[in-house]
Structure 1
């Protein structure tokens, strides 16, 4: 029997329609239109994303704005997005030429009912689209001009959900409300911590600004670098007060290398959440009655245990060839005849070899790699392993450690910066300074 009357699968029909629209779009050169004409054309479009991408171009700015501002938006939110796009088009702003700013403009549109000024009264003073976005956010939502610079920077850096809702916090502070009364804060704030949080440097993430404020309130701002270099600069949990007491413990110890804080925090985290060797996890682990010498000794023993883990795999099914899906960050080669390489480690055996070579605990990041939360990279100079790098899934380089957890030297830091710039990775200021 013939199959010509058999219904066509929806995915096949959608692909056919995409090809039809793509053929038609070749005769429609919307890039020569004015911005208001482009916006009106965009607002007239409806349908699934594949059809829109075929018509406008998958990587085009209009496609990005349709995806974030119009696709599956209904009712008032779509009207707010349309009003914002029309208003920006009339201003002939460069904001509409940058597809990476589409999520931020969608957040601006969602917050428009809470604006303190009208869009028509905004006049961009710079041709830089990122400065225009900062100016637009301050104009619409910062009534008194005192929203912290690091919070405004989060809009342009694509960190709208940086441990909290950045857009909602901007509206909250823009009204003149106290930061500590914001309902979305992950930890409670004292008045003193709130004061310093408002003074945190521009360019900081929320977590880094919070650490800055917490240490400033404790008069321990000199420990900011080691704290941001440790797990305290990467995660924030319910037991945050315990980890601040660990910092107090280090600050009170005489003649201790501040950058031993990171390895010791890794050892404490392992002991509290997973357990060491045959020991069970100890969630109630306390520093009471312990000395700095004993903490450093236990950390060193743990590193030695990890270096021997190839003979005692932690799971029966775990082998040296156990692998995982790597992060989408390409490897790097540079220098004359490529003596510099930065390569992502993809197997458990490679993690062990890296840890044994540089005498640190990188093998303990096995679970983070397997879950896709982190990727571990190895920097080699002339074939010699020199620095281990951790990149989180949000494309931020959060750790850079050499032999015995030392910090990178100037040459190594230069290559890390070149690799990060080539792959558009974020490198916090403290990491290589």
Structure 2
């Protein structure tokens, strides 16, 4: 009798409530309602997320909007979201209910008090929800119509926090302010660089647009592909100007192979941050007084050392069987006459074997894999290793290298693109040529 009166733990109570509302959710078909009524229904819900998810049903399009616009939001933010969604519902826009656009619409609602035009005067001119979102953002926050295309496209690509706050940057630029005066920039730049940054192509990330502008200001746009393919296309550092001088070093050398830039940058990073052959790190290392021939020779020598020392481990606790958590990207199998496999490498020994087979330095990505920043995949054709792929945690394929760091051929590129499309991975345009 005493057990019947014992209060339920909170988790058990949530599960019980979820079961109670589940049967009611099955009988409720909110999709048949007019859009304004659907919005009112969404904002009438109240409770913990497990209960709301059970009430709305599995994989409901409303659940992400509840989580972004209502759950744990202050009253003012909730009212702004309600006003925005009701305004959009009245216009019968395709923006509702697209789960992938919920974060962007929540950001639009948060910035509504700083709009330059009223929502009531906006009319969708396309049935494509992504184009509608771009049109809405320009209407509300772009007073002069000159916010760069890559900034606007970041809203539809889900990159509102792409090295900087894109939503705040949109409002800043929409008021006619200079881009270089934005307080959230991770690096400073000149007026000339800002001019080219505004001209960067749509679809670029902030880092890609910045590299485009930096190279355009140096009259070195021909080097954009190799730069984006190197570590300069994956991260910004405090000594960013030093890495741009490495590009200058290559650009000033006649007949220098542009695609050697990536391996050389890896060698320089190892020398400056870690050390090579037992030497301590040299943070002040530079290319001043060095020839391209000597740099390429030392880079190749370092790659050979990595490939020829499979039993050398960088720390005592590390073994060839050391493993790490996998990135949630499925492996791939295809082809008939020549079977194709794309497999995630998950042990240090596998990284070593991949580097030995293809003569590159993939073993140096050990820490990135262990920390979950990157995952390494191996593409094989007919059982033979052909291409090594690096996929970052944001599901972007940032590197594709074959034997001696060569680029993928057309056949390999087609299989990589198919695998990426099946798993919704982003493949930058420069990566596969």
Q: TM-score range by the shorter chain?
A: over 0.9
Residue of structure 1 in register with 2:348 after alignment: 348
Residue of structure 2 in register with 1:318 after alignment: 318
Per-residue CA distance 1:358-396 (angstroms, 9 max, x = gap): 000000000000000000011111111111100000000
Residue of structure 2 in register with 1:277 after alignment: 277
Deviates more, 1:285-294 or 1:89-98: 285-294
Q: CA deviation at 1:397?
A: 0.5
Per-residue CA distance 1:190-237 (angstroms, 9 max, x = gap): 000000000011111110000000000001111001000000000001
Per-residue CA distance 1:52-83 (angstroms, 9 max, x = gap): 10011231111111111111111211111111
Corresponding position: 1:411 with 2:421: no
CA contact (8 A) 2:310 2:353 kept: no
SS at match of 1:248: helix
Taking the TM superposition and a 5 Å limit, the aligned residue runs for 1:301-380 are 301-336=301-336, 339-380=339-380
| Length-normalised TM-score, structure 2 | 0.98
Q: CA deviation at 1:310?
A: 2.0
Residue of structure 2 in register with 1:30 after alignment: 30
Corresponding position: 1:243 with 2:228: no
Q: CA deviation at 1:320?
A: 1.3
Taking the TM superposition and a 5 Å limit, the aligned residue runs for 1:15-164 are 15-164=15-164
Residue of structure 1 in register with 2:256 after alignment: 256
Q: CA deviation at 1:408?
A: 0.6
Equivalent pairs, count = 433
Q: Report the aligned-residue RMSD.
A: 1.1
Q: CA deviation at 1:254?
A: 1.7
Q: CA deviation at 1:253?
A: 1.2
Unaligned runs of 5+ in 2: none
Aligned partners of 1:6, 1:108: CA distance in 2, in Å? 46
Corresponding position: 1:393 with 2:393: yes
Aligned partners of 2:11, 2:295: CA distance in 1, in Å? 59
Unaligned runs of 5+ in 1: none
SS at match of 1:183: coil
Aligned partners of 2:98, 2:122: CA distance in 1, in Å? 19
Aligned partners of 1:298, 1:84: CA distance in 2, in Å? 59
Per-residue CA distance 1:227-249 (angstroms, 9 max, x = gap): 00000000001110010011011
Q: CA deviation at 1:5?
A: 3.2
Aligned partners of 1:310, 1:228: CA distance in 2, in Å? 30
Q: CA deviation at 1:308?
A: 2.8
Aligned partners of 2:9, 2:310: CA distance in 1, in Å? 50
Aligned partners of 1:48, 1:284: CA distance in 2, in Å? 54
